[in-house]
Amino acid sequence: MGSSKFVIVVAAIAALSGLLFGYDTGVISGALLFMRTQFHLTPEGEGRVVSGVLFGATFSSMVSGRLTDRFGRKRVILGTALLFAIGSILTAFASSVSLLVAGRVVLGLAIGVASFAAPLYISEMSPAKIRGSLVAMNQLAITIGILLSYVVDYAFSSTGNWPMMVALGAVPAVMLAIGILFLPESPRWLILNNRETQAAEVLKRIRGTEQVSEELTEIKAALSEEKGDWREFFSPHLRKALIVGVGLGLFQQFTGINTVIYYAPSIYKLAGMTSDSGSILATAGVGLVNVIMTVVALLLIDRAGRRPLLTIGNIGMGLSLAALSLSFLLHADAQVLKWVGVGSTLVYVAFFAISLGPVFWVMISEIYPLRIRGFAMSFATAMSWLSNMIVSYTFPMLLANLGVGITFGIYTIITIASLAFAILLVPETKGLSLEQIERQERSGTLH
């Protein structure tokens, strides 16, 4: 197999983590309807079942950055694959609300780790020229996972078989566990752990050439500049990287993406859509547009670069959110409201998919120095999960108390701030090797 084909296979297998991330966060939208009846869930119980995953993910991403630095990228991904399988089975067999929540928390623990370990691993395996696209494959897998979960929910909805909806998540988990066994460890992590011969072997395999001494020297040179512990994360030359990673994590969530991904049918209902099949169809449309536009992002991210995608994406998201908000605030005609409701969510998701969706994960996998990369990525990821939890938890209450117009007005204003942040602070990393990025950060020339 050619070297670039091999790297694509590596990225595709690692991206099964993304598929699981998407599937296990998306599946609840349909499964909840039947869990509600079987367990007589109160609204509070429903909240616990939905946010169990987000709680687990926030917690594990916060505490497990050290694991990828200590035990390696590959072993940690293997561990999360097993956790995904266990979580799916536990949830499917849950016989009480507490067991159900416990299963969802286990799934969340797996999702939190997988969400940063997979992009981290892919980024370190990739050649600079196509690194953005390969890391974005993980985001593509997330969107496919979400779409797949909508389809599975729909397929089992006539029988109400929610355990099956959840249990099917174990299939990609087992595939990931088996697949990752055949992949090499990240050469950068190997060098960090003084396993240079092994690192050289891996590099030869993934670059398809015997001439890897230049890349080896470059990685070692970058390492010799690093202080070597997590305190470096807060040192002045990484201040911008810290702000960019955390800022993108907050904006990815506070601009409201999961109000649409998790709650689209509720929004459509408020916009006056009465038929269930219409709202399921529109939700499937959201899932499909998300996948298609992520493919577009994947094709553009290494050509156009990260910054132009972020700028255009934020503008499109802001305009569609403003349209949704204003049509409610100005009490548009019922027919108009229905169309604006569906149209604006589709346009909004399309622009998210070419910008904040992939760019956050790509950027945080490239802007931190090797020694603290796992720790730093997990920190930015945890901020994103925490924000996700806050948005998903508060959204139903905001809707009930403030209405659609004001709620989406708030997300519009946050999106304007996100646009300013992208223009003023986010650097361009297209085409640079991870070590070049680090050198430019040190000399203050990364713009």
Q: Which residues lie near ligand BGC (CB under 6 A)?
A: 139, 142-143, 146, 252, 257-258, 261, 290, 357, 388
Nearer to ligand BGC, 24 or 185 (CB): 24
Nearer to ligand BGC, 91 or 388 (CB): 388
How far is Cα 201 from Cα 284, in angstroms, rounded to an integer?
45
How far is CA 194 from each of CA 159, 220, 233, 306, 435, rounded to the nearest angstrom?
56, 10, 22, 33, 18
| Least separation in angstroms between CB 60 and ligand BGC | 15
Q: What is the 3-state secondary structure (H, E, C) of 210-269?
A: CCCHHHHHHHHHHHHHCCCCHHHHHCHHHHHHHHHHHHHHHHHHHCCHHHHHHHHHHHHH
How far is Cα 21 from Cα 223, in angstroms, rounded to an integer?
32
How far is Cα 447 from Cα 441, in angstroms, rounded to an integer?
9
| Least separation in angstroms between CB 4 and ligand BGC | 25
Nearer to ligand BGC, 173 or 364 (CB): 364
Angle at 433 between CA 442 and CA 70, to 5 degrees: 80
Euclidean distance between the first and the last CA atom of the chain, given in angstroms as a whole number: 37
| Least separation in angstroms between CB 224 and ligand BGC | 34
| Least separation in angstroms between CB 149 and ligand BGC | 11
| Least separation in angstroms between CB 174 and ligand BGC | 23
Q: What is the rounded (10 degree) CA torsion for 282, 287, 293, 297? A: 150
Nearer to ligand BGC, 252 or 429 (CB): 252
| Least separation in angstroms between CB 261 and ligand BGC | 4
How far is CA 73 from each of CA 22, 171, 223, 369, 412, rounded to the nearest angstrom?
20, 22, 18, 15, 37
Nearer to ligand BGC, 94 or 298 (CB): 298
Nearer to ligand BGC, 265 or 369 (CB): 265
